[in-house]
Each structure stands twice: as C-alpha cells, then as structure tokens.
C-alpha cells in the first residue's frame, strides 16, 4: 500500500464521517470542514504522489496550480458574496461546474485513447494479436468514457438551466410534444453511444462530438419544462448525477477516492431526492414529467366563495393582545426576503409578553430546511422553530396563526379531499387555532394550482401584500399602540 493509497483511504473516511456529522446540527459545521480537509489531502496527494501506469509522475505543475488558484479565488468570492436566499441556485451552479469537469475529462481521455490506438497498426502480427486481446477491456473503458461524457454534460446543462430559473432569468418553457421530443433525444443518445461502443476501435470524432452536443441539448430540455418551484428536487437529482459522473472517473483511473466520493454522493443524493419528493407527497416521476401544474388545473375544484380581509391595524392589535402566536413561514417569505423584519416582529411581540413560535413544514419554501437557514440568518432562536408534529400539537393553544406566503402546506384539502392532487401530504393543521391571518400577495392559487379552502373559512382573515412590506407596516402599527 503506497502513501497515496493511505491518503485516499483517509479522504474516503473523511467524506463518510463528514456526511454523517452533517446530519446533526451540533456537529454539522465541523463535518463540512472534516470533508474539506480530506479533499485537500487527496488533491495535494494526487499532485505530488500520483504515478500513471507507466510510472510517470505528474507534470505540468504550472497549469495545475494556475487552475487551482484561479478556481479557488473565483469560487470563494462567489460563495462569500451570494445572499442567503440565493443559496439553492449557488449549489446548482457549482454542481454544474462538477458535471462540466467530468465531461471534459472524458473528452481528453477519448482523444488520448484515439491517439494511442493509431499507433497500433505499425506493430508486428504477434503484437497485433496481443493488441486485439487488449481491445476487449477497451470497450469497457470506452463505455466509462461515454457515460462520463453523457452524464456530466446532462448535469452541466441541466444545472445551468436550473440556476437560470431560480434567479429568474429563464422562464418555464414547454411545447407540444415535448415528452416525445425528449424520448427521441434520449434514444438518439443511446444509439450513438452504442455505435461508438460497437466500433470502439475506429474513434469517430464526429459521432463523439455530436453525442456531446446532444447530451447538452438533452440536459436543457430535461429541465426546461419543470416548474421553477421544483428546482430544488431537480438540483438534488442532478447532484447525484454528477456524483455518478465523478465515479466514472474513478473507474477510468482505478482511483479509489473518486469512486468512493462519487458513489457516496450518487447514492445519498438519490435518497435525498426521494425524501424531498415524499415530503411533498409526489413521486419523482411526477416532478420530472411536470404533470403537477397541468394535470391538477384540469381537476379544478369548486371556486371558494367569499373571504374576508383584515386591515393592518386590526392584525397588529390581535397579535399584541394574544398570549400565543404561531408564525408559519413559506415561499413568499423567502421571495420577499422578509426574515429580518419577521424576527423584529417576533421580538416586539415577546416584549409585550406574547409567546411567539414558528411552525416549519418540512417542504416550506420547497426546499427542506430552507426556512430554518433563512430564519437562523435573521438571528431567530433555534428553540423557537417547531417541526410539523410538535407544531400540530400546539396549534390548539394558539390565539393567532400568522401565515406568511405559505399555501399548499396549510391546505386542508390534503386531509379531506381525496380527489385533490396533494391528498395525503402531511400539513400544518392551522385551523385548530382560534384565528388565522393569511398574508399573500393575491388570491391566486399556490404552486399546486389548487384552491385553498382554508382561506374561505370563517376563522380566516386575509392580509394582502408583499410579506416584507406588510410585516414592516405591522411592526410600525404595534410600536404605535
């Protein structure tokens, strides 16, 4: 066992430990650093200790260190500057970089293999026989190269589209026959890859680059029709794709650390994707085919009828004189970046002796844990955040529930209406409290495209407007009381 193998073993262990520690709030931050330390060791170990099959040490130090330094500076600057609300799109961007890296490696390796093969014909007959025997495993190698290229490119293109959708520069887009188009594209990918495999000896560059272009195209059209609010699920899926692409590199170079890191993320990412879908009571298939918005709108339930509004002053009064207020944050809060003013409201109410808690639905904001991160950024005490089960027990004793830009996660149809597309999804049972105030920008249905009967119940009052603006006005009102 060489020193490099020991370093790789160490790095693999830090990845596993890191992920494990990331799963507990107290150790999470250290876990991230542990994994980062392992990665650093693996990178420098490879630079200085790696020997290829023929025993040559790593060369081109200037290029390598140049790339490392440039990448580190750009990466740190972007990651430090980004706003907390833009975290999901950052993850998507960096994920895309990893995918592109895997695709580029495949490209260079393809050229490398083609060059090595072009030398073979000048060999003697005996050596040719040997070369023919060696050609058998090269089909395996070709398969890995093609897989790395396809998965990496799809992950790169898909992540870029997801990034664009999250920051609003790319709109949802689909056309008639999109599904068929995607299937045709996928079939073409498989056929071309098959052609290259069968003719592994001929190294057809044109077919290889067409394959690359089609993979990019597929990545674009794979993500384009999926709704913007579903992007976190897509990013999580693409994250596991990139993991598999990295593992392909592990096969290619017989490199244990790439293999363990890649497969670990591939498996964990897939499970995380499924967990996210489960929390929304949808199948992954359903998310990917984008059937949610379209299909559900057709099954439109009866229009709700009358709702009543509450004015800012009344809202301020009810909350100041309540003994217990529960705040339910949702996507609207994240979009309006209202977390700081929300914390201000909470402090103000606490000073008046009101018990204020937050009820966090697992998929509030469509990104598990997103609300917690946002509220933590605004200095909200960790103890005040209740998970769904806890919150559901406490709603009974609440005087006021204030819903900030959440909709589907409080829709009672999930419990009562078996025809509803969200039927079966666990929800926050806000209607058990004495009064519900709903802040929304308009009466428009939420992401699922269905009416929310909660808004029409006698207990419920609507408070229209942007979450940040409304909260600021409430804070002013309370101060003036």
Taking the least distance from each CB to another protein, the nearer of 46 and 460 is 46
Is residue 442 within 8 Å of 403, Cβ to Cβ? Answer: no
Q: How many whole angstroms separate alpha carbon 385 and alpha carbon 358? A: 5
Is residue 385 within 8 Å of 358, Cβ to Cβ? Answer: yes
Part of the chain binding another protein (CB under 8 A), chosen from 16-24, 215-223, 301-309, 470-478:
16-24
Taking the least distance from each CB to another protein, the nearer of 82 and 183 is 82
CB of 206 to another protein, least distance (A): 16
Site string for another protein, 340-369 (x = CB under 8 A): --------------------x-x----xxx
308 CB neighbour count, 10 Å cutoff? 11
Binding-site size for another protein (CB under 8 A) equals: 116
- The answer to whether residue 64 forms part of the interface with another protein (CB under 8 A) is yes
Is residue 409 within 8 Å of 387, Cβ to Cβ? Answer: no
Site string for another protein, 263-302 (x = CB under 8 A): xxxxxxx-xx--xx--x-----------------------
Q: How many whole angstroms separate alpha carbon 247 and alpha carbon 255? A: 9
Taking the least distance from each CB to another protein, the nearer of 141 and 441 is 141
Residue 335 burial class via C-beta count within 10 angstroms: exposed 0-12, middle 13-18, buried 19 and up? middle
Which residue among the candidates 172, 355, 379, 408 is catalytic per the annotation?
408
Q: How many whole angstroms separate alpha carbon 300 and alpha carbon 62? A: 63
Query: Which residue of 3, 5, 6, 78 would you call a contact of another protein, by CB under 8 A?
Result: 78
Cα-flanking dihedrals φ and ψ of residue 303, to 5°?
Answer: -65, 145
Q: At what angle do helices 370-377 and 87-119 cross, to 10 degrees?
A: 120
- The answer to whether residue 335 forms part of the interface with another protein (CB under 8 A) is no
Query: Which residue of 153, 215, 236, 411 would you call a contact of another protein, by CB under 8 A?
Result: 236
- The answer to whether residue 84 forms part of the interface with another protein (CB under 8 A) is yes
Residue 472 burial class via C-beta count within 10 angstroms: exposed 0-12, middle 13-18, buried 19 and up? middle
Part of the chain binding another protein (CB under 8 A), chosen from 19-27, 189-197, 287-295, 410-418:
19-27
> Count of residues for the chain?
481
Is residue 151 within 8 Å of 244, Cβ to Cβ? Answer: yes
Q: How many whole angstroms separate alpha carbon 347 and alpha carbon 353? A: 10
CB of 186 to another protein, least distance (A): 23
| Residues between 30 and 59 that touch another protein (CB under 8 A) | 31-33, 35-36, 39, 42-43, 46-47, 50, 52, 56-59
- The answer to whether residue 373 forms part of the interface with another protein (CB under 8 A) is yes
Query: Is position 466 annotated as part of the catalytic site?
Result: no
DSSP letters spanning 235-266: HHHHHHHHHHHHHHHHHHHT-HHHHHHHHHHH
Query: Which residue of 2, 5, 6, 67 would you call a contact of another protein, by CB under 8 A?
Result: 67
- The answer to whether residue 163 forms part of the interface with another protein (CB under 8 A) is no
Helix H or strand E encompassing 360: strand 355-360
Q: How many whole angstroms separate alpha carbon 57 and alpha carbon 259? A: 21
Task: Spell out the long-range contacts of 292-298 with Cβ–Cβ below 8 A and sequence spacing 24 or more.
Answer: 292/227, 292/230, 292/421, 292/448, 292/449, 293/227, 293/447, 293/448, 293/449, 295/421, 296/421, 296/448, 296/449, 296/450, 297/449
- The answer to whether residue 138 forms part of the interface with another protein (CB under 8 A) is no
Query: Which residue of 102, 224, 234, 428 would you call a contact of another protein, by CB under 8 A?
Result: 102
Query: Which residue of 9, 49, 87, 185 would you call a contact of another protein, by CB under 8 A?
Result: 87
Query: Which residue of 229, 246, 319, 386 would you call a contact of another protein, by CB under 8 A?
Result: 246
CB of 379 to another protein, least distance (A): 6
| Residues between 394 and 433 that touch another protein (CB under 8 A) | none
38's CB contacts (< 8 A; 6+ apart) are 10, 11, 12, 13, 14, 15, 18
Q: Which residue has the tokens 């695709």?
A: 103
Part of the chain binding another protein (CB under 8 A), chosen from 26-34, 180-188, 218-226, 302-310:
26-34
Is residue 32 within 8 Å of 17, Cβ to Cβ? Answer: no
- The answer to whether residue 90 forms part of the interface with another protein (CB under 8 A) is yes
Query: Which residue of 2, 3, 5, 71 would you call a contact of another protein, by CB under 8 A?
Result: 71
Query: Which residue of 194, 381, 390, 416 would you call a contact of another protein, by CB under 8 A?
Result: 381
CB of 311 to another protein, least distance (A): 34
Q: Which residues pair with 267 in a beta bridge?
A: none
- The answer to whether residue 213 forms part of the interface with another protein (CB under 8 A) is no
Query: Which residue of 249, 332, 405, 426 would you call a contact of another protein, by CB under 8 A?
Result: 249
Taking the least distance from each CB to another protein, the nearer of 47 and 210 is 47
- The answer to whether residue 88 forms part of the interface with another protein (CB under 8 A) is yes
CB of 192 to another protein, least distance (A): 21
CB of 449 to another protein, least distance (A): 24
Is residue 318 within 8 Å of 398, Cβ to Cβ? Answer: no
Is residue 226 within 8 Å of 290, Cβ to Cβ? Answer: yes
Catalytic residue positions? 408
């Amino acid at each position: 066992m060489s020193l490099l193998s020991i370093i790789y073993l160490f790095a693999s262990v830090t990845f596993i430990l890191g992920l494990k520690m990331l799963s507990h709030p107290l150790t999470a931050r250290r876990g991230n650093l542990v994994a980062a330390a392992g990665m650093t060791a693996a990178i420098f170990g490879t630079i200085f200790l790696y020997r290829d099959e023929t025993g040559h040490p790593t060369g081109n130090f200037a290029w390598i260190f140049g790339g490392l330094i440039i990448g580190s500076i750009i990466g740190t600057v972007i990651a430090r500057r980004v706003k907390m609300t833009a975290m999901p799109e950052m993850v998507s961007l960096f994920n895309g970089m990893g995918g592109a890296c895997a695709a580029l490696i495949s490209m260079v390796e393809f050229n490398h293999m083609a060059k090595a093969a072009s030398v073979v014909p000048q060999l003697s007959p005996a050596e040719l026989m040997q070369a023919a025997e060696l050609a058998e495993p090269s089909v395996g190698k070709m398969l890995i190269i093609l897989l790395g290229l396809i998965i990496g490119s799809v992950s790169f293109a898909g992540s870029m589209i997801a990034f664009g959708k999250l920051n609003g520069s790319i709109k949802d887009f689909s056309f008639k026959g999109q599904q068929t188009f995607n299937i045709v594209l996928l079939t073409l990918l498989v056929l071309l890859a098959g052609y290259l495999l069968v003719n592994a000896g001929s190294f057809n560059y044109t077919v290889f680059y067409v394959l690359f272009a089609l993979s990019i195209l597929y990545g674009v059209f794979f993500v384009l029709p999926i709704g913007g609010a579903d992007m976190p699920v897509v990013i999580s899926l693409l994250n596991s794709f990139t993991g598999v692409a990295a593992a392909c590199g592990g096969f290619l170079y017989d490199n244990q650390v790439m293999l363990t890191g890649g497969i670990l993320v591939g498996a964990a990412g897939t499970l995380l994707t499924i967990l996210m879908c489960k929390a929304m009571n949808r199948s992954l298939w359903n998310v990917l085919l984008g059937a949610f918005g379209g299909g559900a709108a057709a099954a439109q339930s009866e229009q709700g009828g009358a709702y009543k509004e509450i004015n800012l002053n009344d809202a301020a009064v009810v909350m100041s004189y309540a003994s217990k207020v529960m705040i339910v944050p949702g996507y609207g809060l994240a979009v309006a970046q209202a977390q700081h003013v929300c914390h201000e409201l909470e402090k103000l109410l606490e000073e008046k002796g009101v018990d204020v808690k937050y009820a966090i639905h697992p998929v509030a904001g469509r990104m598990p844990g997103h609300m917690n991160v946002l509220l933590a950024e605004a200095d909200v005490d960790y103890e005040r955040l209740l998970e769904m089960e806890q919150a559901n027990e406490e709603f009974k004793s609440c005087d006021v529930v204030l819903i900030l830009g959440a909709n589907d996660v409080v829709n009672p149809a999930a419990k009562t209406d078996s025809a509803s597309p969200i039927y079966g999804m666990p929800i926050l049972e806000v209607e058990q409290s004495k009064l519900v105030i709903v802040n929304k920008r308009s009466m428009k249905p939420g992401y699922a495209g269905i009416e929310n009967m909660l808004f029409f119940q006698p207990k419920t009052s609507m408070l229209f407007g942007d979450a940040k603006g409304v909260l600021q006005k409430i804070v002013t009102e309370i101060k003036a009381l």
